[in-house]
């Protein structure tokens, strides 16, 4: 890329420039010299603050270290309450209820008071066996292309990964890899179909450019080109 006499390099640089992109590597990235490894971003968005290629003992090519200017989205937190219901011992629960005031409840007691008694006694037993706990979790909004099929596939992948890490068997590793490929394929297909439908449903150029900005991660909206109202004489 640094050889001005290299025809292919000049073609690539022209192609990069024609698409409004910028190549950031300015120093040799190979032990024999020349820039062979490149870093490309959109020219109108300053995403890269520094690029350094250093010989770290790797064969031939140098690792290229990139420092970016990217703000990580602030995760939203929320507090949720829960009980460990599954940990309740059914036998212990039955014993607690049979030894409570509910065993001697008077059938002549008005219905409203019976309901209150059931509520208070069962509530006390529940609080003792499965006390209410709170925790703070990160709240994430699912992407528009995310669906239930992907969610179930990711759960299957996590189960396969836990099985493989526990057994360390080659067959379990291969099963995990299959689940991993399945998830990636489902995500690719869902994204493709989602954005294809978005583009197809655009009724005008403004909507189309809004979708393109979303796809390209642009913060500012690129506007469609102005129509030339003048006519050639």
User: What secondary structure does DSSP assign to the chain, as a single string?
Assistant: ---TT-HHHHHHHHHHHHTTEEE---S--BTTSS--S--EEETTS--EEEEEE---S-SSBPPEEEEE--PPPPPEEEEEEE--GGG--HHHHHHHHHTSGGGG--TTS-HHHHHHHHHHHHHHHHHHHS--EEEEEEE-PPPTT--HHHHHHHHHHHHHHHHHHHH--HHHHHHHHHHHHHHHHHHHHHHHHHHHHHHHT--SHHHHHHHHHHHHT-SSPPPPPPPP-----
> The whole model's pTM is what?
0.48
- Start-to-end C-alpha separation, the chain: 45
Closest CA to 126 of 116, 135, 114, 118: 118
Say if residue 38 is in the same domain as residue 80: no
Q: Residue 232: its pLDDT value, please?
A: 42
Q: Is residue 226 part of a domain?
A: no
Q: Is residue 224 part of a domain?
A: no
Say if residue 181 is in the same domain as residue 130: no
Angle of the 170-200 helix axis to the 205-216 helix axis, nearest 10:
160
Say if residue 16 is in the same domain as residue 37: yes
Q: Is residue 143 part of a domain?
A: no
Say if residue 209 is in the same domain as residue 157: yes
Say if residue 120 is in the same domain as residue 161: no
Q: Is residue 2 part of a domain?
A: no
List the chain pLDDT tens, one digit each, 233 residues.
999 999 999 999 999 999 889 999 999 999 889 999 999 998 888 889 999 999 887 778 999 999 988 777 777 888 999 999 999 999 999 999 998 888 888 778 888 988 999 999 999 999 999 999 999 988 777 788 999 999 999 999 999 999 999 999 999 999 999 999 999 999 999 999 998 998 889 888 888 888 888 777 776 554 555 555 444 43
Pick left, alpha or beta for residue 84 (phi over 0 → left; psi -120 to 50 → alpha; otherwise beta). beta
Say if residue 110 is in the same domain as residue 61: no
Q: Is residue 90 part of a domain?
A: yes
* Total domain count, the chain: 3
120 Cα distance to chain centroid? 44
Say if residue 153 is in the same domain as residue 212: yes
Last residue of a domain, one of 47, 68, 89: 68
Q: Is residue 99 part of a domain?
A: yes
Q: Residue 231: its pLDDT value, please?
A: 46
Q: Are strands 76-82 and 133-139 parallel, antiparallel or unpaired?
A: antiparallel
184 Cα distance to chain centroid? 12
| Residues 19 and 41: beta-carbon distance below 8 Å | no
Say if residue 178 is in the same domain as residue 206: yes
Q: Is residue 121 part of a domain?
A: yes
Domain range for 159 is 148-216
Last residue of a domain, one of 38, 68, 98: 68
Q: Is residue 225 part of a domain?
A: no
Last residue of a domain, one of 138, 156, 177: 138
């Amino acid at each position: 890329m640094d050889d001005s006499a290299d025809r292919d390099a000049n073609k690539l640089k022209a192609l990069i420039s024609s698409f409004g992109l910028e190549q950031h590597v300015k120093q040799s990235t190979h032990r024999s010299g020349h820039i062979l490894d490149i870093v490309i971003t959109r020219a109108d968005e300053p995403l890269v603050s520094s690029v350094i290629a250093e010989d770290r003992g790797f064969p031939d090519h140098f690792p290229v270290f990139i420092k970016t200017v990217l703000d990580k989205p602030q995760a939203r937190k929320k507090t949720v309450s829960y009980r460990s219901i599954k940990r309740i011992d059914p036998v212990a629960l039955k014993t607690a209820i049979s030894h409570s005031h509910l065993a001697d409840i008077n059938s002549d007691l008005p219905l409203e008071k019976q309901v209150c008694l059931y509520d208070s006694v069962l509530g006390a037993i529940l609080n003792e066996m499965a006390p209410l706990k709170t925790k703070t979790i990160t709240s994430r909004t699912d992407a528009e292309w995310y669906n239930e099929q992907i969610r179930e596939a990711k759960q299957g992948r996590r189960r396969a990964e836990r099985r493989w890490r526990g057994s360390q068997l080659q067959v379990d590793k291969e099963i995990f890899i299959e689940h991993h490929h399945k998830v990636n394929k489902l995500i690719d297909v869902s994204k493709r179909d989602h954005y294809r439908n978005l583009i197809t449903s655009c009724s005008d150029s403004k909507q189309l450019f809004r979708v393109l900005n979303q796809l390209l991660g642009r913060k500012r909206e690129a506007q469609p080109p102005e129509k030339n109202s003048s006519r050639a004489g």
